[in-house]
Structure 1
């Protein structure tokens, strides 16, 4: 089981790279899995979807969901969180 770590608040269509890949330039495959994460500001639990991006070079998994006020949070597997920009 993966441990997910908060990586960033993101904005739609504003460049955000994970492992050098801008997530907005790729199709997100929904893994049909809900992952419980903890909100970075509130400390409240949320259930967000896990997604996967497949490119010829690599596969990237992440969890994304919307907090209140339209803020979108992105979580990465704990070991990958340091590679996000």
Structure 2
């Protein structure tokens, strides 16, 4: 069964892993996760394949690398804020 995870819940998901964590192990551990963007979604394994790291030493490092690989369209329009009406 696929787990859908919104970007704002990614940190909690990453904190469930044991670190250091290789990208390969992360792909296996999160192979059922669909990351939900502002405009669409993508399997987390596909996103992990685009990161430049081979290993993450902490959840924060993993999140940062993943965020850097997210397409611009995934986080919304430039200048857009979720808090604005």
- TM-score between both structures, scaled by the size of structure 2: 0.27
- TM-score between both structures, scaled by the size of structure 1: 0.27
Instruction: Name the one with the larger strand percent.
Output: 1
Greater C-alpha Rg: 2
Greater relative contact order (CA < 8 Å, ≥ 6 in sequence): 1
Instruction: Name the one with the larger helix percent.
Output: 2
